[in-house]
Structure 1
């Protein structure tokens, strides 16, 4: 799947990533501080800041941010990332 979603806040170290393949999740988990995996929601939690997680996803897999959204003042930002076909 070329698209993933990253949800988290800039000041906290609780970032959720949705849509990573199993090999990607295993590889990136060795570089970050992984938390619980929720397979029912295709969700992986990392105890790193959202910016650090997105930087690692770009460095290791080529993912790029294509959009960002936030609902309301207190809601967590959500970034959509895409992996280029040639990666």
Structure 2
């Protein structure tokens, strides 16, 4: 199953997405406000809220949230999404 990780605070518009395919990244970037690209990582930054990004991933590609956790001491939420075949 393909998995995607979304990391970002609910009240901030700085969301990081990990694991999108090139095709998915191109399609979703046309609908979101992209930030700087990091070529060293499989990471995309969007200047949209995490909830909006996850809603777009569900609407266009069928991704669903399967887990949520917080990152260390910062408490920043991390969601894992999956897409059925």
Rounded to whole Å, the distance in 1 between the matches of 2:71 and 2:21 is 27
- Higher fraction of helix: 2
- The reply on whether 1:43 has 2:38 as its aligned counterpart is no
Structure 1 length-normalised TM: 0.91
Specify the SS of the correspondent of 2:60.
helix
Structure 2, unpaired ranges of 5+ = none
Question: How many residues are treated as equivalent by the alignment?
Answer: 85
Map Cα deviations across residues 31-67 of structure 1 (whole Å, 9 max, x no partner). Answer: 0001112232100000000000000000000000000
Q: Which runs of 4+ in 1 moved over 2 A?
A: 71-75
Instruction: Note the C-alpha offset of 1:75.
Output: 2.3
RMSD: 1.3
